[in-house]
Amino acid sequence: MNFQYNGLLTDWRNELIIQEGEENIPYSQYDWVKDCGEIHGEWIPAYQKVVTPAMWEFETEEVTIQTGQLLYSATITLFTRPNVFSDNWSVYKSFTSKGRSAAEAQQNAMALAKAKEPNEDFYDGWDGTKAYRYTNLQEMTASSEVTFTTVTGITYTPATYETVEAEWKPTLCNEKPVYDPSVVHQVGDKDGCWTWKEIKAFDMVQTGQYWNFYGPFGNVELDLGNVKTNLQYNNYQLPVSVTLEQIGNTVKYVNVGSPIKDEYMIMIPATISYGWGILSGTLTITVKPV
């Protein structure tokens, strides 16, 4: 095992003294990264555009009911609901008209509704979310002379449409979001064309700033005659089958015929000479079973 000066040389701050050199230290920073394609936009499907809206035209005449004659009143109510699956119909508008008969009163109410609310979806039922009902039909005797307008003819002109072709509408990228330190972002957060990402980088760091200040350093000398372990059952000594040998800045560990069942530690006294004297320490080796 090659220990070099591992853990043996520390300065007054208890930081390791290591030989001069350079080391790349990885770190992460976070920023908005543009990750959309060069060309992006929205596909707008073809649709029908109204050129002229539908129109109702009515022919009318004035009608007078004399005192004592029968008079009818009819109300038509328009309803809407949120969607075709809903049973929750709401009243939208109501219109009331008079007539000489129940049918004429209803016809006049329908004409008034179409004149005031021409949306044909209320009357043809195709939309599924709009409908009409005759909600109030009354028969009465005129207590005085009554004059009203009745419908004698109805002309319906359907809406005309033109087809607007489908098109691809390119859109520009939004500007890079302004960094706000008060907002906590998670990796993967999106803002238009920008994604909050982790950016890995490296800093070049000069190591061993104090090496020459303490040097020159000599070789580490291990006192293999005073080795201790944490093996209480063996009086803190090495197993009899284990030998250690220092070869430069390495320790050769040999174990013959004595398999290791449990992990244990070997503590070796060590000294090293440097510019100001001799340092003493302990090299600790952890032995683990295979």
Per the model's pLDDT, the better-predicted residue between 38 and 232 turns out to be: 232
For residues 137 and 151, the answer to whether their CB atoms sit within 8 Å is no
Amino acid code (one letter) for 195: T
User: What is the predicted pLDDT for the residue at 1?
Assistant: 45
Give the whole-number percent of the chain exceeding pLDDT 70: 88
Whole-model pTM: value is: 0.40
Binning pLDDT at 50, 70 and 90, where does residue 15 land? low
What is the average pLDDT across 130-153?
91
Bridge pairing between strands 277-287 and 264-274: antiparallel
User: For 259-281, what is each residue's pLDDT tens digit?
Assistant: 778 888 999 998 888 777 788 88
Alpha-carbon separation of residue 274 from 15, 63, 210, 278 (angstroms): 17, 126, 12, 6
Q: Using an 8 Å Cβ cutoff, are 36 and 229 in contact? A: no
**Highest-pLDDT range among 23-37, 97-111, 214-228:** 97-111
Q: Does 128 have pLDDT greater than 80?
A: yes
Question: 4 Cβ partners below 8 Å, 6+ apart?
Answer: 249
Q: How many residues does the chain have?
A: 290
pLDDT band with cut points at 50, 70 and 90 for residue 91: very high
Mean pLDDT of 149-165: 88
Q: Which of 12-21, 45-54, 135-144, 194-203 has the lowest mean pLDDT?
A: 12-21
Question: Closest by alpha carbon to 63, among 151, 143, 148?
Answer: 148
Residues 6+ apart with CB under 8 A from 247: none
Q: Return phi, psi of residue 2, to 5°.
A: -100, 115
Q: What is the pLDDT of residues 31-89, one digit of tens each?
A: 899 888 767 788 899 999 999 988 888 888 899 999 999 999 999 999 999 999 999 99
pLDDT reading at 19 higher than 70: no
| φ, ψ dihedrals at 49, nearest 5° | -105, 135
Mean pLDDT of 161-187: 89
Average pLDDT over residues 179-206: 85
